Amino acid sequence: MGDLTIRGAGIFGLSIAWEALDRGARVRVIDPGGPGAGASGGVVGALQPHTPDPWNPKKQFQLDSLLMAEALWSKIDAVSGINSGYSRVGRLQPLASEREIDLARSRETAAATHWGTQATWSVIDRAATPDWHPPSPTGAYLHDTLSAIVNPRHAVQSLAAAIQSRGGEIATESPDAAPIIWATGWQGLMDLGNTLQRPAGSGVKGQAALLRHDAAGLPQIYANGLHIVPHLDGTLAVGSTSERDFDDPKSTDAVLDDVIQRAAAQLPILKGASVLARWAGVRPRSPSRAPLLGPWPDRPGHWIANGGFKIGFGVAPMVARVICDLVLDGRDTIPAEFHTDRLA
């Protein structure tokens, strides 16, 4: 048996396994569906920061994680030989009113204070690339250089291969051996809530599409509630929906058709682009929307790493670090906003 058993081979489970291997632990990851079978097997891959004002420990955690990502994915890809599709391409967002412009400008100072020289948040008068900007009633856009992208499916493949290359085991089923980290997605949050007899989270369905359109290297766009993400392999992702009520967690429908049409309305250059894949999955959402990390209440030797709703890939590096600090080294560095203590 390994030193660490991880239930769940999504981005949290695999990232923790990689960090644990780096610290010298023996690791076994168990997931009946295999790597990326849940929400981590999607197509969008937008790694975006929250606004730099007001600042709080959650935003510092996210900043630290986003700044770790480039070196981390470079190392993982070098071991696996698979390109994760990571790139810090930045983000472009239209500003619809003078109020939005003023608010965005007020946050430039906050970004300079909290992000330092490592990234910028700025208002620009026009987009730099023809045909690659959504309509803006004011002509102005928010541009940040902290946002990045990753190809979720390629990233999961790269991470899983790197773990196995380093001697970690990934299995569909195996006996558990404590300590056990539960990174089992939305169904895991539901099971946790049932065990504790109090809400621990739920699932929110998302639908997204992968289009054939090569805009590699251009900024990702967030407009009209949509993420438009140009991947490095010449594909482009659009999404996603947020559906609390659903019957089939993996089916796509007319709601996704609307997403594709709205994306083309924002970027006319996408009109007529062929659809390569349609995806649906359920993302784990904790009651606070923040990740849920720490000991499983009243179950010694069991730990929780879950709830990466919408920001899972972005915060995974720091999630792995603080979970390994706690489980392997006995140091609790988890921010209070994320801690399972809040379930008590």
Domain range annotation of the chain: 4-87+149-200+287-343
pLDDT tens-digit map of 116-170: 999 999 999 987 788 899 999 999 999 999 999 999 999 999 999 999 999 999 9
Whole-angstrom distance, CA of residue 327 vs CA of residue 219? 38
pLDDT tens-digit map of 164-188: 999 999 999 988 877 999 999 999 9
Q: Is the pLDDT of residue 57 over 60?
A: yes
Q: Which pLDDT band holds residue 1 (cuts at 50, 70, 90)?
A: very low
Q: Is the pLDDT of residue 2 over 70?
A: no
The domain 4-87+149-200+287-343 belongs to what CATH superfamily?
A: FAD/NAD(P)-binding domain (3.50.50.60)
Whole-angstrom distance, CA of residue 306 vs CA of residue 241? 20
169 Cβ contact list (under 8 Å, min separation 6): 2, 27, 28, 29
Of 232, 206, 230, 212, give the one whose Cα is nearest residue 276: 212
Tallying the residues shown for the chain, one arrives at 344
Residue 74, CA atoms < 13 Å, CB-side half-sphere: 7
- DSSP 3-state assignment of 209? strand
Contact assessment for residue 2 and residue 175, using Cβ atoms and an 8 Å cutoff: no
Cα distances (angstroms) measured from residue 80 to each of 8, 37, 43, 164, 244 = 20, 19, 20, 9, 36
- DSSP 3-state assignment of 77? helix
